Amino acid sequence: MTEGDEVAVLGVRVRLGDGATVDDVRALRAWLERDEPLEQLLSAEQLRIEERTSTEGPKGRLGPDIELVLQLLGDVATIAALTEYTARAVKTWKNNRRRLQGGEPDSEIRPLGSDRS
């Protein structure tokens, strides 16, 4: 690899849409950090979860301007597995939120592009 070559970042992006608040994003992050397969990757320092300001779409259009980025730090899991773990945890969190607060925000989970971190 030469200087200036961009390294693809492996991970997934989770963005909550209509009906979500910044508190929802932070609650979802805490939920993801406690979800068993994700918690194991975090404990082994093979995964990092960050809150980032969204760079897509007009500000405030689809919920908070914060998204969660789950970034793999090693070769212990595939993107498919990470996406599956994340989707399952987000679905469970949304079901729990619906039971406790009523309603559930839209969500989008997708792999990180090689052009963004």
pLDDT tens-digit map of 47-92: 999 998 876 655 545 566 789 999 999 887 888 999 999 999 999 9
CA-closest candidate to residue 31, choices 18, 14, 45: 14
Residue pair 3/96 in contact (Cβ under 8 Å)? The answer is: no
Predicted local confidence at residue 108, as pLDDT: 92
Query: Is 20 buried (19+), middle (13-18) or exposed (0-12) by CB count in 10 A?
Result: buried
CA 95 to chain centroid: 17
pLDDT band at 8 (very low <50, low <70, confident <90, very high): low
Whole-structure pTM value: 0.81
**Taking all residues of the chain, what is their mean pLDDT, rounded to a whole number?**
83
Q: Number of C-alpha atoms within 13 angstroms, CB side, residue 85?
A: 24
